[in-house]
Structure 1
Amino acid sequence: MDRIASANFSCPAIPMPRVCRIKPFGLSIVTDHRKRFSCRVAVASGDTKATVVDSELDLEHKKHNLLRAVQETQRGLTATSDQRSVIEEALVTVEGFNGGEAIDLVKLDGTWRLQYTSAPDVVVLFEAASRFPFFQVGQIFQKFECRDRSDGGIIRNVVQWSVPSLLEEQEGATLVVTAKFDKVSSRNVYLQFEEISVRNININEQLQALIAPAILPRSFLSLQILQFIRTFKAQVPVTSTSPGRRSVGGLYYLSYLDNNMLLGRSVGGGGVFVFTKSQPLEL
C-alpha cells in the first residue's frame, strides 16, 4: 500500500496544454462584435450629419420665407396688419434657431442693409419721402465696429438720402447717427448716442454746371465752392452735458445673427428690424 502511494506520489506531473498554441474560437466572435459596433457608430455619425444638414436647410428655408414676406412692403412703409402678422410669425421662427447663443461680436462686425422695419422713427422717413417729391430716402445701413472687442463697440446708423433736383439720386447725401454700445447681457446691448452728422454730399451734374460751367474756364472761387460742398460735414453732438446724466440711449435686443442675416428688436415697443449683410461701407 505504501509502495502504491509512493508510486503515485512520484509519478511525474502531466504537462498542461498551453492555451496560446490553440487559436481560440471565441477570438473570431470578439472580432465580429467589433466590426458590428464600428458599423453602428458609422450609421449613428451619418444620422447626425444628416440631421445637421436637414436643420441648416430648414433654417435657410425659414430665412427665405422671412425675406419673401417683407419684399413687397417697401421696407415696412406699406405693410398691412396681415402682412405684419405674417412677418412677425416668420421672424419668430428664424429667431428660434439660435435663441440660446450669445452674440458673436466678430460676426456682428461689418455693414448690414435694412430690409424691413416697423420702428416708427424709421418708418416716418419713408412716409416723408412718399409725401414730398423733393425728398428721397435711399439705402439704410447699420455699421458695427466691434471686431476686436468683447464688451461692446461703435454702431453707426447710416441713411442715404437725396433732393432729386439738387443732389444725385439715392446717394445725394449721408446722414450718420453714431452711438456707443455696451453688452449688458448675452443678447442685449445698450446704445448711447453721441453724434448726428451729415456728410458725403454729391450734387448732381446740373447744379455742378451751374456753379462751374464746363464751357467757361473754372475760376478758383467756383472750384473752391465745389470742393467745399464735396467735403462738407456738419456734426451735432447729442451727448449729455449735465454731470451724472446719461446721454440719450436705448436698449437693443439682437434676436438672431449669422453670416448673412441680423434680426433686432428695440426694447420697449420700438419695432423690429430685418437686416442682411452688405458690402463694407466707407464713411
Structure 2
Amino acid sequence: MELAFAASVYPANGTRAIHEIKPLSPKLVSAKKRSFHNRFLCSVVVAPDGNRVSEVELENRKHDLLLAVQDTQRGLVATADQRSVIEEALVCVEGYNRGAPIDLVMLDGTWRLQYTSAPDVLILLEAAARLPFFQVGQIFQKFECRNQYSGGVIRNVVRWSIPNLLEEQEGATLVVSAKFEVVSVRNIYLLFEEIKIQDINISEQLQALIAPALLPRSFLSLQILQFLRTFSAQVPIRNPGTARRSVGGLYYLSYLDKNMLLGRAVGGGGIFVFTKAQPLEL
C-alpha cells in the first residue's frame, strides 16, 4: 500500500514549513519488502485504517509459502532445510486469521494439494517416483458442506494411472470418503467411510488391442470395453480386527480464505497446503 506522509519542521526564522514525502515507487517497495522478508519472515504491518495486517501483506505471505513449496514435488523431495522454511512460512500465514471460526460456505468446494508432510500421501508419491508402471496425478480435497451447519462430507481424490494401459495422469480416480463434524472453532472430526476406484479411462493402445478399429468389433470386445469404462469398486473402511468400528481422526484447519486452505492432521499426521481449484465432479 502506498502512503503519503507530511513532515513538519521549524526553520531558524520560526516559519513553519510543510514538506511532502512522495510515495515510494512500486519497484522500490517490492525490493524493500523482499529484503525485509529475508530478515524477518513473520513481521506484521499495521495498516493505516487500524487493521492489524494489510491485505497486500497477507497475499505476500501466501505467495512466500507457495514459493517455498514449489520445488518439493508436493513434499516428496523436501529437504530438512526446506521443511523448516515451509513450516515458518506456514506459521506466518496461519497467524492472520487464528481463532476465527470455520466458514463452511467458504470451505465448500475443491482444493488442490500443493504440499504435504503426511506419510500416507508421501507413500503414494514415492511409489509413483520409484515404480515405472504407476503414476500419480493431481490430488484434491473436495468438501461438500455449503448448506450445512456443523459438518458435511469430505472426499480425498487421487488421480492415478498405469502407463500404456490407462490415460496419462488421469487414467483412474481413487476416492476416500469421510463424513466430518465441526467439534471446535478450528477442529473437525473425520469419520472415514469407504475407498472407491472409479472413472477408468483406458488408453488408445489398450482400446486398439481389445477392439481394433480396422476390424469388425465383436460383441465380446464391445462388452469388455464397456465394462472397463464403467468399472468401479468400493470397499468400506474398518479398523483391523473389528467389524463395525470406523476409522476417524481430528483435522485442524489452521487457515482458510477464498483461495488457500491450510490443515494439520492432529497427532503428527502431517501438514497440508491446498489452493482452490475448479469444481470437481465425482
- Cα offset for 1:274? 0.1
Distance 1:89 1:281 in 2: 31
- Cα offset for 1:218? 1.7
Listed as ranges, the matches of 1:50-199 within 5 Å are 50=49, 52=51, 55-199=54-198
Which residue identity is paired with 2:136? V
- Cα offset for 1:238? 1.3
Which residue identity is paired with 2:155? R
What is the identity percentage for the equivalent residue pairs of Structure 1 and Structure 2? 75
- SS of the residue 1:217 aligns to: coil
Structure 2: give runs of 5+ residues left out of the alignment: 1-45
1:200 aligns with 199
- SS of the residue 2:74 aligns to: helix
1:16 aligns with none
Distance 1:242 1:164 in 2: 37
1:22 aligns with none
Structure that is richer in helix per residue: 1
Could you report, residue by residue, the CA deviation over 1:110-155 in whole angstroms, capped at 9, with x for unpaired residues?
A: 0000000000000011111111011000000000000010110000
With normalisation by structure 2, the TM-score equals 0.80
Q: Number of aligned pairs?
A: 236
- Cα offset for 1:49? 6.5
Distance 1:48 1:132, change over 3 A: closer
Distance 2:82 2:53 in 1: 28
- SS of the residue 2:127 aligns to: helix
Structure 1: give runs of 5+ residues left out of the alignment: 1-46
- SS of the residue 2:205 aligns to: helix
2:224 aligns with 225
- Cα offset for 1:50? 4.8
Distance 2:151 2:81 in 1: 37
- Cα offset for 1:165? 2.1
Distance 2:57 2:205 in 1: 51
With normalisation by structure 1, the TM-score equals 0.80
- Cα offset for 1:100? 1.4
2:28 aligns with none
Distance 1:218 1:113 in 2: 40
Computing the radius of gyration over CA atoms, which structure comes out larger, 1 or 2? 1
Distance 1:88 1:275 in 2: 14
Runs of 4+ in structure 1 deviating by more than 4 angstroms, as ranges, are 47-54, 239-243
Distance 2:213 2:140 in 1: 35
1:262 aligns with 261
Distance 2:200 2:130 in 1: 23
Distance 1:210 1:56, change over 3 A: same
Contact 2:154-2:178 at 8 Å conserved across structures: yes
- Cα offset for 1:186? 1.0
2:33 aligns with none
- Cα offset for 1:48? 6.9
Distance 1:277 1:89, change over 3 A: same
Distance 2:226 2:171 in 1: 15
- SS of the residue 2:269 aligns to: coil
